[in-house]
Amino acid sequence: MAVTLAPSEVPPKRLRALEIVLALAAGSLLSFMLLCNSSLAAYGTPLFSSLTAHGVGTVVAGLTVAGLWRWRVRPVGRRGRAPLWAYLGGLSGALTVLATSIAANSPLALTGTLALGIAGQVFLALVFDAMGAMGLTRRLPSLRDLAALAAILAGTGLIIAARGMGA
Amino acid sequence: MMAAVIFALGGGMLIALSRQVNGRLALQSSALESSFWNHLVGFAALIAITAAVGSFWPDGVENAPWYAWAGGAVGVVFVAAGSWLIPRLGATMTGALLVAGQMLSGVTLDVLRGVDAVLWMQIGGVALILGGVLLARR
């Protein structure tokens, strides 16, 4: 049940520099988030850390949404409510911590868990793009996209291995 | 070991799944609202899981430094950014660029904190990632 995008919403074919910079900035926040959350997990448990992060996140996001409500922009050309299942993304987010903390406590350790997690994430993302899953635009990666992906993954592998082999 | 590999791969797939679903919600609300629902629904699920198998106040957790409690606020921005990006860049490039940013800041943090690692591999990794990002620009 793909929902067609209004013309004004159709994503541009070319990746725009702004979007790339924003993605890199958001990704770099993740290192700080993991530093915070893993510190709380070390003093408590991974489950408690995720519970707290989601609780704090609910309050912060709720206050921000409420504070900005007056200036809310209605999505163009998309009338009506999203289907109920679209509200359940948080469920798989909550299960993530269970899966990764079990894996991190195995011989895979943090390094192996991180590397395999990225592999799993990219694999499923490719499948989702090819299918146009969940009503998002279907798209097949170009050769150039695949080359970019390969370079980023190779660099990521080197960096993860560099940490694993230090000490 | 096989089970651990499946859990590790599955953890990554769950991240891709939640980003896809949150991105779909953002199309009919907003990136920030989808981040709110993501955290609220996840919080409810984690309360249920904690009630079943965990503790609502593990011993010693009061000794954690202040910043340990701040991860959730950063997460709000991260999830909102993912929801905003995924309809624009697609799931694959969104995921790849978020990982790229994570690695670049991770290396910076490691170097600043003096974490032991093989320097030439870190430099090579950064160079490859920057090359990949330039390729993605088209």
Q: What does the domain layout of chain B look like in residue ranges? A: 13-54+69-137
Per-residue confidence band for A166, with pLDDT thresholds at 50, 70 and 90: low
**Which pLDDT score, from 0 to 100, does residue A167 have?**
46
**Which pLDDT score, from 0 to 100, does residue A1 have?**
44
In this complex, the residue of B36, B50, B135 whose CB is nearest that of residue A47 is B50
Query: Three-state SS string across chain A, please?
Result: CCCCCCHHHCCCCCCCHHHHHHHHHHHHHHHHHHHHHHHHHHHCCHHHHHHHHHHHHHHHHHHHHHHCHHHCCCCCCCCCCCCHHHHHHHHHHHHHHHHHHHHHCCCCHHHHHHHHHHHHHHHHHHHHHHHCHHHCCCCCCCHHHHHHHHHHHHHHHHHHHHHHHCC
**Which pLDDT score, from 0 to 100, does residue A78 have?**
64
pLDDT above 60: residue B136: yes
Count of A-B CB contacts under 8 Å: 461
Cα–Cα–Cα angle for A34, A118, A40, nearest 5°?
Answer: 15
**Which pLDDT score, from 0 to 100, does residue A7 have?**
45
User: Average pLDDT of B52-61?
Assistant: 91
In this complex, the residue of B23, B39, B63 whose CB is nearest that of residue A61 is B39
pLDDT above 70: residue A4: no
pLDDT digits (tens, 9 = 90+) for A39-59: 999 999 999 999 999 999 999
Per-residue confidence band for B1, with pLDDT thresholds at 50, 70 and 90: confident
In this complex, the residue of A56, A126, A163 whose CB is nearest that of residue B73 is A56
- Check CB contact under 8 Å for B116 and A147: no
Distance from CA of A71 to the nearest CA of B (A): 12
**Which pLDDT score, from 0 to 100, does residue B86 have?**
95
**Which pLDDT score, from 0 to 100, does residue B84 have?**
95
In this complex, the residue of A30, A106, A137 whose CB is nearest that of residue B102 is A30
User: Average pLDDT of A26-50?
Assistant: 92
Q: Considering chain A, what percentage of its residues have pLDDT values greater than 90? A: 58
**Which pLDDT score, from 0 to 100, does residue A79 have?**
66
C-alpha span between B45 and B54 (Å, rounded): 13
Q: Which of B9, B79, B130 to mutate to test the interface with A (most CBs of A within 10 A)?
A: B9
C-alpha span between A31 and A34 (Å, rounded): 5
Copy the structure tokens of residue A63: 């206050």
- Check CB contact under 8 Å for A89 and B21: yes
Q: Which residue of B has its CA nearest to A17?
A: B137
Distance from CA of A13 to the nearest CA of B (A): 9
**Which pLDDT score, from 0 to 100, does residue A10 have?**
47
pLDDT digits (tens, 9 = 90+) for A60-100: 999 999 998 888 877 655 667 889 999 999 999 999 988 88
Q: Considering chain A, what percentage of its residues have pLDDT values greater than 70? A: 86
pLDDT digits (tens, 9 = 90+) for B9-54: 999 999 999 999 999 999 989 999 999 999 999 999 999 999 999 8
Q: Which of B2, B50, B93, B122 to mutate to test the interface with A (most CBs of A within 10 A)?
A: B93
Interface of A with B in 126-145 (CB under 8 A): 126, 128-129, 133-137, 139, 141, 144-145
**Which pLDDT score, from 0 to 100, does residue B115 have?**
84
Q: Average pLDDT of chain A?
A: 86
B101: chain A residues, CB-CB within 8 Å: 23-30
pLDDT digits (tens, 9 = 90+) for B63-100: 999 999 999 999 999 999 999 999 999 999 999 999 99
